[in-house]
Amino acid sequence: MSAKPRLLVARNVFTPVIDRLREHFDLEVNTDDAVWSRDALIARLQGFDAVFVTTSEPIDRTLLAACPQLKAVCSMAVGYNNIDVPACTEHGVLASNAPDVLTETTADLGFALMMAAARRLAESEHYLRAGKWQKWSVDMMCGQDVHGRTLGILGMGRIGQAIARRGALGFGMKVIYHNRSKLAPEIEQPLGARWVDFDGLLQGSDHLIIVLPYSPASHHLIGAAQLAKMKPTATLTNVARGGIVDDAALAQALSQNVIAAAGLDVFEGEPAVHPDLLTVPNVVLTPHIGSASIPTRMAMANLAADNLIARFTGGRPPTALNPEVLSTGQRG
């Protein structure tokens, strides 16, 4: 019997998924959950055929060249800005991500953060815990309405559409969106969704949610100039990636009430958070938990495992980012 391929699991995941992988691979698992730098990963990956990653592991051209035995890079995340997919293709290395399985859970968090920002939930809780609630007053913790207002979505992919469904169908919101391309009428019409240009989105949204993949083109897409175009009563929510919003500019805009409030699940340079964001009251902050429910994280990990197992058993990896390597020039 030939030896099993060697798999490095760069971030520990659930035991049932590890057990499943163990049936097919000779495994090494990062059990202490350290986040490895690119160079540490290169050192660890010597002699490995495959790596199971999340969004923290940088898979670039240098790493691919320095790990000549590597044949598959499978991520349990939908966002893959940490993986240089064209370089993987050039090196004959399969790359896969984990779309769809986290769409609804991430949309739930996006909606929850938007509501928390609009209705000042975090501020209200801190107020109460700090013993400041001594009496009722007419304007105590008054925020913004959500129902019936205009929901703006930047990036109308799967998660954006799932948020739009919640807003339009559950809360009677008007939906406007900005995307590279207009969606098909059969997607737009049930939601009453309308494509607008970027400025139209900034100016027209009561609650703007960012659900855009990160790329150099989306870096600091929302900065001081864009925030200044928004309504002073608007909220901004980001469940996509840090770096799309200029966090320093956002903290300043929040402190000067340029917009009413924000909800952030992702940050530039996370897990570090810009210190100014920690001191402004009108922002709700969560530690990148968009997909964090047990069933969803389990499904994400299993989907990465499906891709890995298919790659080494002659199957079809279900969510390959570069399926062309399967027919043309995989690393042997």
Residues marked active site are found at 241, 270, 288
Look up residue 240 and give its DSSP letter: S
Residue range at the interface with ligand 8YV (CB under 6 A); choices 74-82, 227-235, 253-261, 315-323: 74-82
Q: Cα 83–290–212 angle (5° rounding)?
A: 55
Smallest distance, ligand 8YV to C-beta of residue 174, A: 28
> For 71, phi and psi rounded to 5 degrees?
-120, -15
Q: Does 107 bind ligand 8YV (CB under 6 A)?
A: no
Options 5, 79, 263, 317; binder of ligand 8YV; rule CB under 6 A: 79
Contact 312, 94 (CB under 8 A): no
Contact 79, 103 (CB under 8 A): no
Q: Measured between alpha carbons, how far is 188 from 193 in angstroms, rounded to an integer?
A: 5
Options 143, 167, 263, 290; binder of ligand 8YV; rule CB under 6 A: 290
* Among candidate residues 329, 323, 245, the one with its CA nearest the CA of residue 85: 323
* Among candidate residues 231, 224, 216, the one with its CA nearest the CA of residue 247: 224
Smallest distance, ligand 8YV to C-beta of residue 102, A: 5
Q: Does 78 bind ligand 8YV (CB under 6 A)?
A: yes
Q: Does 5 bind ligand 8YV (CB under 6 A)?
A: no
* Among candidate residues 149, 261, 282, 246, the one with its CA nearest the CA of residue 205: 149
Residue range at the interface with ligand 8YV (CB under 6 A); choices 31-39, 70-78, 309-317, 320-328: 70-78
Smallest distance, ligand 8YV to C-beta of residue 131, A: 36
Options 7, 102, 261, 321; binder of ligand 8YV; rule CB under 6 A: 102
Cβ nearer to ligand 8YV, comparing 54 with 319: 54
Which residue is associated with the tokens 């969560």? 286
Smallest distance, ligand 8YV to C-beta of residue 55, A: 4
Smallest distance, ligand 8YV to C-beta of residue 76, A: 5
Options 291, 302, 307, 319; binder of ligand 8YV; rule CB under 6 A: 291
Angle between helix 15-22 and 294-313 (nearest 10)? 10
C-alpha torsion sign, points 290, 292, 296, 299: positive
Cβ nearer to ligand 8YV, comparing 235 with 296: 296
Smallest distance, ligand 8YV to C-beta of residue 20, A: 18
Q: Does 307 bind ligand 8YV (CB under 6 A)?
A: no
Q: Does 239 bind ligand 8YV (CB under 6 A)?
A: no
Peptide bond into 271 cis (omega under 30): yes
Structure tokens at 235: 């909220």
Q: Measured between alpha carbons, how far is 194 from 295 in angstroms, rounded to an integer?
A: 33
Q: Does 77 bind ligand 8YV (CB under 6 A)?
A: yes
Q: Does 150 bind ligand 8YV (CB under 6 A)?
A: no
* Among candidate residues 295, 234, 296, 244, the one with its CA nearest the CA of residue 265: 244
Q: Where along the sequence are the contacts to ligand 8YV (CB under 6 A)?
A: 54-55, 76-79, 102, 290-291
